């Protein structure tokens, strides 16, 4: 009986340690209302949110000046020269635009960080 209790507590300890080490991944998603490509990425990110422990921060930039300024600052931080949205940052990795290649790169980066 003592062995069972000992292993039970060991299991609990391992479980809680692994849970503490789990890190939520931050994703900053800059988009424009009415942007069809942004809409496709938004659907993709909704699926990502179901599969992984991520927190998606959404910033509409076409009608919100503060978010547009934040987008400019973020692009400068990551030395992004392209213009427009969607623009996505997964932790410290920036992605401009959205297509099947970029969606694979985003998911690969999330898997790597997970």
Per the confidence metrics, is the pTM higher than 0.85? no
CA–CA dist 81, 101 (Å, integer): 19
CATH class of the domain comprising 23-113: alpha beta
Chain segment 29-82, per-residue pLDDT in tens: 999 999 999 999 999 999 999 999 999 999 999 999 999 999 999 999 999 998
**Which alpha helices (DSSP H) does the chain contain, by range?**
2-21, 36-51, 65-77, 100-113
Domain ranges across the chain = 23-113
């Amino acid at each position: 009986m003592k062995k069972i209790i000992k292993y039970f507590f060991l299991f609990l300890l391992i479980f809680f340690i692994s849970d503490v080490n789990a890190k939520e991944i931050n994703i900053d998603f800059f988009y424009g209302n009415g942007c069809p490509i942004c809409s496709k990425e938004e659907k993709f990110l909704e699926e990502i949110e179901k599969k992984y422990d991520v927190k998606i921060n959404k910033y509409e930039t076409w009608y919100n000046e503060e978010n547009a300024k934040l987008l400019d600052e973020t692009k400068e931080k990551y030395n992004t020269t392209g213009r427009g949205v969607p623009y996505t940052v997964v932790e410290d990795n920036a992605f401009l635009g959205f297509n099947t290649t970029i969606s694979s790169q985003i998911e690969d980066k999330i898997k790597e960080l997970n």
